[in-house]
């Protein structure tokens, strides 16, 4: 059975309305200030550290993102905490909020499909996040120029720009998750709590748990233990499991992009090191190749989460 008309009729209208809602909301302003202040603190720490330990470094500018100074974590680790928080903050009441305001049935009685509403909400959230992250990125580049005084090279700009893109994708994963839970749970508070809970689990607990689960699935080999080495099968299983979490995928992608000396994100075998000059940076294209599977993984999980939400939303009753 084919439906008449386009599924995206009204998409632009929904998106613009949601975008203006986001950009004018108090919630967004709080989140933005939080991100800006925290990022500035991390940046300041990084610059102090860089000034103290300046050595010959061809990628000094990238150090801005990755260097940390006790007790503050680096800019990248701050971002990897705060971006999911922002995305969840924007998405947790996207659909159930419409139910609770009792606007959903009125809006869906207009000549649009549910597709337009859901997709418009997702795009508006993503654009809002993108705007904030681009602003933040420009801020960091600008401050870096001012405080370090060395202009970044083309490759450094390229790498940090790719980092920006990957961060937006990462935000999209959490936005899709928040949107899914806002469809599943009628109460925004429940949806927010469950999403935050899942975020905490995937970011902090799962990486630890992955090791334990991996040892159950692929037990440690006593021969390797005797040699004081990791069992390859266990290590590989642990990595596979850990990569189920988008946080792990993001962390690995960022390492590959911002640290040009990263040669592999998995266990390295001796055969791979043959002929390699240790510590020598890879060209950007090689780094992109290393980060590519992780990036695709994040895009795929965002799409899968969105599609699950979409299917559930299509079948949901509109009556409150």
- Interface with other proteins (CB under 8 A): 1-5, 9-10, 13-14, 17, 21, 101-103, 105-113, 317-320
Q: Which is nearer to other proteins, 115 or 156 (CB)?
A: 115
CB 125 within 8 A of CB 93: no
H-helix segments, the chain = 11-24, 26-52, 60-66, 75-91, 96-101, 104-108, 114-148, 154-184, 188-200, 206-217, 222-226, 232-242, 246-258, 270-273, 284-315
Of residues 37 and 318, the one with the C-beta less far from other proteins:
318
Nearest-approach distance from CB 152 to other proteins, in angstroms: 42
Q: Which is nearer to other proteins, 51 or 106 (CB)?
A: 106
CB of 2 to other proteins, least distance (A): 8
What's the CA gap between 82 and 167, in Å, rounded? 11
Report the distance separating Cα 127 and Cα 240, nearest Å.
31
Helix (H, G, I), strand (E, B) or coil at 69: strand
Please report how close the Cβ of residue 25 comes to other proteins at its closest, in angstroms.
9
Rounded to whole angstroms, the Cα distance separating 178 from 175 reads: 5
Query: What's the burial of 67, exposed, middle or buried (CB within 10 Å: 0-12/13-18/19+)?
Result: buried
Q: DSSP label at 25?
A: -
């Amino acid at each position: 059975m084919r439906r008449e008309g386009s599924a995206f009729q009204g998409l632009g209208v929904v998106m613009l309305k949601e975008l203006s809602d986001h950009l004018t909301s108090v919630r967004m302003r709080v989140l933005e200030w939080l991100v800006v202040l925290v990022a500035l603190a991390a940046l300041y720490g990084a610059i102090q550290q860089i000034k103290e330990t300046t050595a010959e470094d061809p990628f000094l500018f990238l150090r801005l993102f990755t260097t940390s100074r006790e007790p503050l974590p680096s800019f990248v680790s701050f971002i990897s905490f705060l971006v999911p928080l922002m995305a969840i903050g924007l998405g947790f009441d996207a659909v159930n909020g419409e139910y609770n305001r009792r606007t959903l049935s009125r809006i869906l009685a207009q000549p649009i499909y549910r597709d337009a509403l859901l997709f418009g909400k997702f795009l508006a959230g993503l654009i809002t996040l993108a705007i904030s992250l681009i602003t933040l990125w420009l801020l960091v580049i600008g401050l870096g120029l001012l405080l370090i005084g060395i202009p970044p090279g083309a490759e450094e700009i390229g790498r940090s720009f790719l980092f920006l893109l990957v961060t937006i994708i990462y935000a999209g994963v959490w936005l899709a998750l928040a949107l899914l839970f806002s469809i599943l749970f009628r109460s925004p508070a429940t949806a927010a709590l469950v999403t935050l809970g899942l975020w905490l689990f995937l970011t902090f607990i799962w990486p630890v748990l992955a090791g334990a689960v991996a040892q159950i699935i692929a037990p440690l080999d006593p021969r390797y233990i005797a040699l004081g080495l990791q069992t390859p099968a266990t290590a590989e299983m642990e990595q596979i499991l850990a990569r189920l979490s988008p946080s792990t995928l993001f962390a690995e992608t960022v390492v590959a992009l911002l640290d040009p000396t990263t040669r592999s994100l998995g266990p390295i075998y001796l055969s791979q090191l043959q002929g390699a000059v240790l510590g020598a940076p890879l060209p950007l294209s090689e780094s992109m190749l290393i980060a590519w599977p992780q990036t695709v993984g994040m895009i795929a999980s965002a799409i899968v989460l969105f599609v699950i939400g979409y299917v559930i939303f299509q079948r949901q009753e509109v009556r409150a």
